[in-house]
A = this chain, B = another copy of it.
Amino acid sequence: MKRKNSQVAQKVKVRFNSQDDPVLVPQGATILEAASLGDIPVEGPCGGRGTCGKCMVIAQGKLSPLSPAEKELLSAEERKSGHRLACQAKISGDVIVELLHREELKSQILNQAAGSNAVLDADVRKNYLVLPQPALEDQRADLQRIRDQLPQGDTLKVGLEVLRKIPALLRESEFEITAVVAGTELTDVEAGNTARDSYGIGFDIGTTTVVGYLMDLNTGEQVGVSAALNPQSVYGADVISRLSFVIEHQDGTQKLQEKVIGTLNELIEETCSQTGVDPQQIYQVTVVGNTCMHHLFLGIDPRSIAPSPFVPVATAPLSLTAQELGLNVHPRAPVHTLPNVAGYVGADIVGGVLATGLYQDGELKLFIDIGTNGEIVLGSRERLLACATAAGPAFEGARISCGMRAASGAIDQVYFDSDVHCTTIEGARPRGLCGSGLLDAVAEMLKVGVIEPSGRILEPEATGSLATEQIKRRIVAGENGPRFILTQAEESAHGQPVCITQRDVRELQLAKGAIFTGIQLLEKELGIEDKDLAEVLLAGAFGNYLRRESALRTGLLPPLPSEKVRSVGNAAGEGAKIALISARLREKAAEIAQRIEYVELSGRGDFMQAFADNMFFPEKKED
């Protein structure tokens, strides 16, 4: 994905099927990568190696020529009609893509995410029943009449509201009804046959972003998705400031809960109006999020998480109802929160472990979710260890002089050759630097010798041999030592240069040092070495955007071949979806949370010692 001419590479539009919203991707991305970014389900079982041919799509627009793999796998006819392998075709301009077997694929991608054994197994079932009419020879009670037709039989639970509804409904519908059953609870009875309409919604409540996934529980397909910023951000950008808000305000918990519930209701409304689904036909809700978001969603005071010993109120999976939480779906829809592991290893991580199948993997893998806190899980089907590192908000752009969130105009990728090249989000004029851009920039500065392993930005005359004159000219003296200019004032959106200061580099060192040390300590606890790792899975938005070479070069990750590093996208959200469509896997999440051995790093002497060492960057390797 090298960019040549423009210093700021434009993003291009990829439109899948006839969707309204195109996916914006950097030039050079494959269609498969574009699909992944846009959360568009395209199957790729061979892992993008061009060997299985399963990612075949029909594509029009500016694309790379046919690759050798495509020449081998596509028939002459397929080539003529515009068929391409999504993993091979690289995008160089706006492109329109038509998916093959779309419906089928949608459910498959979920199955894939959950490993090989996720089958549609939702515990919401709608049962169309033609009940025998009462007679003197059959005086069974209405409820009994229903129970006798359902596999749950007399174990079927029923609440007062449904019970009160039953007698009139049965008689008005002439005893032809649809019984909505969630687990062992009779959620509702509906007149006639409504079995076709059965939906669930999965929420991933991030500190910054909240995403809702509307799922068809009859097919396991995702039928709608919508995202919004977490409105709690007004009261603090990160978990710690949210906790402070709660501690300082008597009604803090309630206020923050109301905020997030409001947003979830907007997402329900949006996904439903997109798809024409009636919110009353959403019969189940699943929720993932970090432990603090989890508590705030439930209106549970999370303040005890803040100080040592970081004790949460509840880690176990909980089942509540939409009604008591104020969610505008079916009032008796069960709301399942996935379990947390500890104060700083939440249900989002459990969801990720569920979605990636790490818990049942034969090989040792490392799962990392990088944000303000870097949560790390190391293990396989044998054992699972986890820790949380206070990485600090550097990767989210905070405490960085030109830092910003990954929004329009943020430099998200940086590449040095004879000079510096940047791409920005949405191709806008640069306004600042987001986490992946910072990591790239520092990696490239290390590569060309502008930064030495200690982290010091060198004077132009002291730089390594790979630094060209153009690059050296970008090192300028500042008040607190030298700084490095990525884009000049005249190229930026606000007329100020976007640059990296010595202090920014120190912030990055702290962040990457914390995460790397966390990894090291988990490896030590498990008694393994870097080379024993089969794969490193990067979760979350940052994991999606960062360039694995940069992560390796800066020492954020252990020294491994870059092909062992893989982005797994929004694994937490996938976990929420899987928990909706499979009751068995939802229960598995509880098992996973109990299996995960939490390793507390705070107060450990060996952590502090290793952390101090790991602040340095790895010695430069000549490429």
CB pair A315–B602 under 8 Å, yes or no, is: no
Q: Does A343 reach chain B (CB closer than 8 Å)?
A: yes
| Apart from A158-B318, A160-B325, 18 more pairs, CB < 8 Å | A134-B311, A136-B309, A136-B600, A139-B343, A139-B600, A141-B312, A141-B314, A141-B315, A142-B314, A143-B316, A144-B314, A147-B316, A159-B320, A160-B320, A160-B324, A163-B313, A167-B313, A168-B301
Are B167 and A301 in contact, CB atoms less than 8 angstroms apart? yes
In the complex, the 5 A-B pairs of residues with the closest C-beta atoms, listed nearest first? A141-B315, A143-B314, A134-B311, A141-B312, A136-B309
Report A310-339 CB contacts with B as 1/0, cut-off 8 Å.
Answer: 111111101010001100000000000000
Q: Give the CA-CA distance A159 to B321 in the complex, in Å.
A: 10
**A164 within 8 Å of B (CB atoms):** yes
Q: Which of A138, A139, A168, A320 has the most B CB atoms < 10 Å from its CB?
A: A139
Is A39 among interface residues, defined by CB-CB distance under 8 A? no
Output the nearest chain B residue to A343 by Cβ-Cβ distance. Answer: B139
Please report the C-alpha to C-alpha distance between residue A167 and residue B307 in the assembled complex, in whole angstroms: 14
CB closest residue in chain B, given A590: B154
Contacts of A309 in B (CB 8 A): 134-136, 138-139
**Can you sample 15 A-B contacts with CB below 8 Å?**
A136-B602, A138-B309, A139-B598, A141-B314, A142-B313, A142-B314, A144-B314, A144-B316, A158-B314, A159-B320, A160-B298, A160-B320, A164-B300, A168-B301, A171-B304
Q: Which of A141, A144, A602 gathers the greatest number of chain B CB atoms within 10 Å?
A: A141
Contacting pair B300 A163 (CB below 8 A)? yes
Cβ–Cβ contact B163 & A311, under 8 A: no
Residue A603 is within 8 A (CB to CB) of chain B in the complex: yes
Indicate how many identical chains form the complex.
2
Residue from the set A142, A154, A603 with the largest chain B CB neighbour count within 10 Å: A142
A598-615 to B contact mask, C-beta < 8 Å, 1/0: 101011000000000000
Q: How far is the CA of A546 from the CA of B325 in the complex (A)?
A: 56
A166 within 8 Å of B (CB atoms): yes
- The yes or no answer to A108 lying at the interface (CB within 8 A) is no
Chain B residues contacting A447 (CB-CB under 8 Å) are none
Give the distance in Å from the alpha carbon of A301 to the alpha carbon of B169 in the complex: 11
A342 in contact (CB, < 8 A): yes
Q: Which residues of B contact A301 (CB under 8 A)?
A: 164, 167-168
With both beta carbons as reference points, the residue of chain B lying nearest to A145 in the complex is identified as B311
Q: Does A140 contact B (CB under 8 A)?
A: yes
A299 to B598 Cα, complex, angstroms: 49
Interface residue A222 (Cβ < 8 Å from any Cβ of B): no
Complex CA gap A486/B397 in Å reads 100
User: Which residues of chain B are within 8 angstroms of A310 by Cβ–Cβ distance?
Assistant: 139
Interface residue from B134, B135, B138, B311 paired with A139 (Cβ < 8 Å): B311
CB of A340 closer than 8 Å to a CB of B: yes
Contact B602–A142 (Cβ < 8 Å)? no
CA distance A308 to B320 in the complex (A): 40
Q: Least Cβ distance of A249 to chain B in Å? A: 15
B residues less than 8 Å from A340 (CB atoms): 141
Nearest CB in chain B to that of A257: its residue:
B164
A90 at the interface (CB under 8 A from B): no
* Chain B, Cβ-Cβ closest to A594: B154
Chain B proximity of A613: nearest CB distance (Å): 23
A442 → B minimal CB distance (Å): 33
Bound CA span A59–B5, Å: 113
Closest to A325 in B: B160
Known: A136-B308, A154-B316, A309-B135. A299 touches B141 (CB 8 A): no
Task: List, in ascending order, chain B residues with CB within 8 A of A313's CB.
Answer: 141-143, 163, 166-167
Contacts A167-B301, A167-B303, A303-B167 hold; do A139 and B603 have CB atoms under 8 A apart?
no
Within 8 A of B (CB), among A121-145: 134-136, 138-144
Tell me the complex Cα distance, A308–B325, Å.
43
User: B136 contacts A603, CB within 8 Å?
Assistant: yes
Interface pair B308/A167, CB less than 8 Å apart:
no
Q: How far is the CB of A288 from chain B (nearest CB, A)?
A: 17
Q: Does B164 lie within 8 Å of A311, measured CB to CB?
A: no
A340–B139 Cα gap in the complex (Å)? 12
Q: Which residue of B lies closest to A320 (CB)?
A: B160
Q: Which residue of B lies closest to A314 (CB)?
A: B143
Find chain B residues with CB under 8 A from A160 CB. Answer: 298-299, 320, 324-325
Q: CA of A309 to CA of B139 in the docked complex: distance in angstroms?
A: 6
Residues in chain B near residue A600, CB distance under 8 A: 136, 139
Cβ–Cβ < 8 Å partners of A314 in chain B:
141-144, 158, 163, 166
